[in-house]
């Protein structure tokens, strides 16, 4: 009886195998006929059926090259060594390495910090003090951390990702920037400090016609967690182009928060229509500051510097109170969920060029102590943050660093609603993989370990805390092989303009 049943099962399996083979042959014939007759692809027309493997392998390569083919220091936009450090820091495991550096210290642009013969003893270190932003505001902000979470909107990021960032920021004691998508309950859930970004579409603070609404500004400002307002002029990944949120990511909730139709692509204007020059910009900043009573600044990626010179002249003409409370400088190689490649690759200066020059311009016009500088754009490892502090930044923002802390694997699916880690997708099945409580702890651990290692660099350079780092503590490898001090490449300028309050 048992043997008969066994042979019956074998016969069924054999029959099933024959059916499968038959279906495969029929499908192959169908694909062959289709490929040989279509006119759009030369590969498929010349190599029917097997030509499809080329596209499949190309797609698979996006996920496999980082594991099997790319060297530790060669992948873009972030190499394996950079990502691995963030992963280990976020998991709060050992971040030390053995045997020797894998960085080519002779490569032009390499940063080398100048260690002191007598580094600061652990017993002599000093904590980083809060830095005040907005001294002329009704409610100035004493920002506690020099490293913070950059602008990433609810929409570009998922609900659990924002919730984890909010909780992690609270644990770390840093701020969370909302991005241009408006203020969601997820931003406030963790109880962290929040910077509200106003994009060109004014999401979250717009009236029915899409104009900036003073009433809605007051509503947002009334929330104690909202500490500052940031007017977004441009971002590094796409200067001259507004935000892009694909239709499949505009859920009912996101549409309600932004004040736009659901399931339709959210495309922001490429600039604020009401801002055409430095006078309009200062008028807008002062309007927001007067209505909210809180610090107000702007975010921009720098191309030319002439517009900033005009802005400084106008500030000195009007008086110190009229100045932006902060400027967020984004790098031309900044990140985004979706951008045209022509802008992503070729427009906007990198932060290594723009940061020291903008800092010097503020010194030149006597505005450096009035205006705080926030540096952003691929600054996610301790050496990069320490360099920014040496160059003159008051604060450093990171977006993708905290995405890696959440578990991002650089799958490059941010604009497709198919993120495999649940960070940039609104697919509930994929979001399930992102456990908020666990990822919040990782966000806080990444922040804590990065700050600790920046402090280690500072102490090695002979200063008591990171904000005491100066340009003389950093050297840059040049194309001819020489290693020049940053203060020689960018010497502090002499002040050529007195501020209006001193000249009367």
Give the pLDDT mean for 406-413.
84
pLDDT reported for residue 96: 78
134 has a pLDDT exceeding 70: yes
Residue 128 in contact with residue 467, Cβ under 8 Å?
yes
The answer to whether residues 153 and 142 touch, using CB atoms and an 8 Å cutoff, is no
Residue 58: the pLDDT is: 62
Higher pLDDT, 13 or 80: 13
Question: What's the pLDDT at 259?
Answer: 82
pLDDT mean over 104-116: 92
Q: Three-state secondary structure along 22-82?
A: HHHHHHHHHHHHHHHHCCCCHHHHHCCCCCHHHHHHHHHHHHHHHHHCCCCCCCCCCCHHH
58-67, 194-203, 207-216, 459-468, range with the lowest pLDDT: 58-67
pLDDT one-digit tens code per residue, 270-325: 889 999 999 999 999 999 999 999 999 999 999 989 999 999 999 999 999 999 99
* Rounded mean pLDDT, 331-347: 72
| Residue 372 CB contacts under 8 Å (≥ 6 apart), including other chains | 131, 133, 297, 325, 326, 327, 394, 395
pLDDT at 63: 61
Percent of the chain with pLDDT over 70: 90
Q: Please state which of the ranges 61-70, 222-231, 233-242, 399-408 shows the lowest mean pLDDT.
A: 61-70
Q: Which residue has the higher pLDDT, 347 or 401?
A: 401
Contact status, residue 268 vs residue 258, Cβ threshold 8 Å: no
DSSP 8-state class, residue 255: H
In contact, 144 and 173? CB cutoff 8 Å: yes
Of residues 324 and 33, more confidently modeled = 324
Are 301 and 236 in contact by the 8 Å Cβ rule? The answer is yes
For 223, half-sphere exposure in the C-beta direction (CA atoms, 13 angstrom radius) is 21
pLDDT in tens, 212-231: 999 999 999 999 999 999 99
DSSP calls for 387-434: HHHHHT-SEEEESHHHHHHHT----S-TTTT--TTSSS---HHHHTT-
């Amino acid at each position: 009886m048992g043997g008969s049943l066994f042979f019956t099962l074998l016969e069924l399996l054999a029959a099933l195998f024959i059916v499968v083979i038959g279906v495969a042959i029929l499908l192959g014939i169908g694909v062959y006929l289709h490929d040989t007759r279509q006119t759009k692809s030369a590969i498929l027309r010349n190599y029917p059926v097997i030509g499809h493997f080329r596209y499949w392998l190309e797609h698979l390569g996006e996920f496999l090259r980082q594991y099997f083919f790319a060297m530790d220091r060669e992948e873009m936009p972030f190499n394996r060594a950079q990502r691995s450090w963030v992963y280990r820091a976020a998991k709060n495991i050992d971040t030390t390495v053995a045997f020797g550096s894998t960085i080519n210290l002779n490569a032009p642009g390499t940063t080398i910090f100048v260690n002191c013969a007598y580094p600061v003893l652990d017993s002599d270190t000093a904590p980083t003090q809060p830095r005040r932003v907005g001294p002329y505001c009704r409610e100035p902000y004493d920002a506690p951390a020099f490293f913070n979470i950059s602008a990433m909107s609810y929409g570009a990021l998922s609900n659990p990702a924002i919730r984890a960032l909010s909780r992690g920021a609270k644990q770390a004691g840093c701020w969370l920037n909302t991005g241009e998508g408006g203020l969601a309950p997820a931003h406030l859930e963790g109880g962290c400090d929040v910077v509200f970004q106003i994009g060109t579409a004014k999401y979250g603070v717009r009236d029915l016609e899409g104009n900036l609404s003073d009433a809605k500004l007051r509503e947002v400002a009334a929330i104690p967690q909202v500490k500052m307002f940031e007017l977004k002029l441009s971002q590094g990944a796409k200067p001259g182009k507004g935000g892009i949120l694909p239709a499949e990511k505009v859920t009912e909730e996101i549409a309600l928060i932004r004040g736009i139709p659901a399931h339709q692509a959210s495309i922001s204007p490429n600039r604020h229509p009401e801002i055409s020059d430095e006078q309009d910009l200062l008028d807008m900043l002062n309007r927001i500051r007067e209505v909210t009573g809180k610090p107000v600044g702007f975010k921009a990626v720098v191309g030319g510097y002439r517009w900033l010179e005009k802005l400084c002249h106008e500030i000195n003409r009007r008086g110190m109170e009229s100045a932006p409370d902060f400027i967020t400088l984004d790098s031309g190689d900044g990140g985004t969920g979706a951008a045209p490649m022509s802008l992503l690759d070729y427009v906007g200066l990198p932060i290594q060029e723009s940061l020291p020059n903008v800092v010097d311009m503020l010194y030149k016009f006597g505005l450096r102590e009035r205006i705080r500088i926030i540096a952003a754009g691929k600054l996610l490892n301790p050496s990069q943050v320490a360099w920014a502090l040496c160059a003159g930044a008051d604060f450093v923002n990171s977006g993708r660093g905290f995405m890696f802390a959440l578990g991002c694997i650089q799958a490059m699916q941010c604009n497709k609603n198919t993120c495999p880690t649940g960070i940039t997708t609104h697919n509930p099945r994929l979001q399930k993989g992102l456990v908020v409580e666990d990822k919040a702890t990782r966000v806080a651990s990444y922040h804590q370990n990065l700050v600790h290692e920046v402090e280690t660099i500072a102490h090695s350079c002979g200063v008591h805390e990171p904000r005491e780092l100066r340009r003389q503590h950093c050297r840059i490898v040049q194309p001819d092989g020489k290693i020049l001090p940053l203060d020689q490449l960018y010497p502090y300028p002499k002040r050529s303009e007195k501020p209006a309050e001193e000249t009367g």
